[in-house]
Each structure stands twice: as structure tokens, then as C-alpha cells.
Structure 1
């Protein structure tokens, strides 16, 4: 097994609290928090990716930009800011993963069809196999698909992407076992 890191994408207060909260946000955050605790216990890095918007929405340092209180962090965790749906684009993420000698990413977070999807595809393009916590990413849905449909669709679609070489596997958050090897 290869060295893994847990990547938590955009689990920020503006996306998981109030009337615009993503589908089952509280349940998903609890799953992500448990994943992070297990990753740390196994000696695997935990990386929080936070979108940094402008004009107050997800603006760095604002309440909406912050992680929710139910998502616990450690002094050993890593934090990466991003300004696009792609956590690799114009960020230090690739260098951080190289420094940490990460070979596989376990991914979870918000919003499935935007930042989770884009970052998973870019991870594949960078040569990282991905284990997507299939029940620990979420969405608001849209006028055509419910949030549950968006999540299910991406679990199937991403696990069928073969052209990059590395693949996406789907796992339930409570069954994912981390490896720091």
C-alpha cells in the first residue's frame, strides 16, 4: 500500500450552514471528521483545502470562509487556499504532496460537481490514484438533479475515468483504512 493523505475540500461554513447548506452537511461533516481522526491516527497527513473568494463570500478570514466547529483540526494538519475549483491550480498543493511523499489521495468535501470533481480529475492528471469517500462528499443539487443524484452520478462517473492511468476507487467513509507506508 502507498502513503496516503486525506484531502478535505471546501468544508467551509458558508457551504454547510444556514439556508444554503449542502445536502446532509452535518452527516457528511461527521464522516469527514471521523476520517480525519483515523488518518491522523495512522500517521497520514490531513490537508484542508479552502476556497478563497472575493467580495465577502468565502473571503479569507471571514466567518463563511472558516471551517465549521464540528470539523476538528490538529497542529499537524496542512491548509491550502485556492481561488478556482481546482485545488492544484496556482496553489502549493502539488509541492506539498511531493514534500509529504504522498502517493494516493483520499478525497472528501463540498461541492461534488464543482471542486471535488475538478480536483479529483486534476489529481489523476498529476498521477495520483484517488480513493473517493463516496458518502463524504456533498452538493446542493440543481434544477435538473437532486443532491443525492449528483453524488451518485459522480461516484459512478469518476470511478469510470480510465484515460489518466491512475484510477478512482469509491469507498464508504467508515470502511476506509489509511496507510502511511
Structure 2
């Protein structure tokens, strides 16, 4: 059984100064995945990244709120994380096991940080990791544009760290 894990689709990233590549498409994809998960009775976990007190993303900051574009219906498990890896210093692994999940479908932001780290950690913790190839994004960097960052991570993570799937093809 798989659970859906949505990483960092929050106000500060969706509406921040560094616009994520194809963000509107990502939001549609994440909402469609939530619909599929609900229809299948799969659990939905939503991680919100928070930083230290005094930072723009300190606990309680409006920038850490789940982006209003996500269609939350209640019943989703929303939790805070302070590390790139959503399992590190959170109850995520325990909560996944408690709901009977043996696998986790990963989507959200940012590709080269939290998506990458969480995919790698999921397998190490014994979960079947699935990365939605068209379900994660980031912003351009001075070295590489977002489209290439995403393509690189899809190619690198597929196989050793996760199974790569297109959102339209995934069934919970």
C-alpha cells in the first residue's frame, strides 16, 4: 500500500521571489494525485518546511503555510520538518508504518533539495519510493535551469533510489 507525500508546497515557495518552473502545472498534478489517493483510501502526508526562529520561514510564519491552491479536504496529515529529508527528526516513517504504507509516492518541491533527499532516505528506511516525474519542481539556479535540474534528478534517482512514474500513469 502506498501513501502520498507532498513536500513543501507552501506559500513561501509557490509565491516567493524565485518562481518555480511550471508551478501551475505542478499544483494541478498534486491536486490530481490527492484525488487519486483519496479515491483509493490512501493516506496523504503534507510536509511544511520551517526554519529557525528569526528566519523568514520560522515556525508560525505565513510563508510556511500550505499553498492555498492545494485542495485540502481535511484528513491529510500536515507536519513540519526542519531538514531536507522529510524523515529526519519527524514521525513520518512511524506514521507511514502505522497507516499500513509500505511505499511512498513523492511529489512537491524543491527537486534538488527535499525531493532528492527524501527519495534517497525512503529506500534506506525500507519504503518503496516512487517519484512522480512530472510532479516536482524547483527554480532556475545560476548554474542550471529548472527544467534541466528536474531531468537530471529524474535520471539519477530512477532505479537505485526510486521508481519513476508519470502522474497520469500512477494508481494507488
TM-score, with length taken from structure 2: 0.94
CA separation in 2, counterparts of 1:91 and 1:41?
27
The question of whether the paired residues in 2 share the 8 Å contact of 1:14 and 1:20 is answered with no
CA separation in 1, counterparts of 2:159 and 2:105?
17
Residues 1:39 and 2:3 are matched in the alignment:
no
Structure 1 runs not aligned, ≥5 long: 162-166
The question of whether the paired residues in 1 share the 8 Å contact of 2:120 and 2:162 is answered with no
TM-score, with length taken from structure 1: 0.90
In the alignment, which residue of structure 2 is the partner of 1:73?
Answer: 72
> 3-state SS of the aligned residue for 1:20?
coil
Structure 1 position 156, deviation (Å): 0.5
CA separation in 1, counterparts of 2:86 and 2:18?
22
Q: Deviations along 1:100-126, whole A, 9 cap, x unmatched? A: 111111100100000010011000100
In the alignment, which residue of structure 2 is the partner of 1:164?
Answer: none
In the alignment, which residue of structure 2 is the partner of 1:11?
Answer: 9
CA separation in 2, counterparts of 1:114 and 1:24?
17
In the alignment, which residue of structure 2 is the partner of 1:27?
Answer: 25
Q: Deviations along 1:63-88, whole A, 9 cap, x unmatched? A: 21111111011221111211010111
> 3-state SS of the aligned residue for 2:136?
strand
CA separation in 2, counterparts of 1:57 and 1:123?
28
CA separation in 1, counterparts of 2:23 and 2:57?
17
Residues 1:172 and 2:166 are matched in the alignment:
yes
Count of aligned positions: 171
The question of whether the paired residues in 2 share the 8 Å contact of 1:51 and 1:81 is answered with yes
CA separation in 1, counterparts of 2:74 and 2:26?
23
- Which aligned runs of 4 or more in structure 1 are off by greater than 6 angstroms? none
When the two chains are superposed, the root-mean-square deviation of aligned CA atoms in Å is: 1.2
CA separation in 2, counterparts of 1:67 and 1:157?
28
CA separation in 2, counterparts of 1:48 and 1:59?
18
Choose from 42, 48, 51 the match for 1:50.
48
Structure 1 position 56, deviation (Å): 4.2
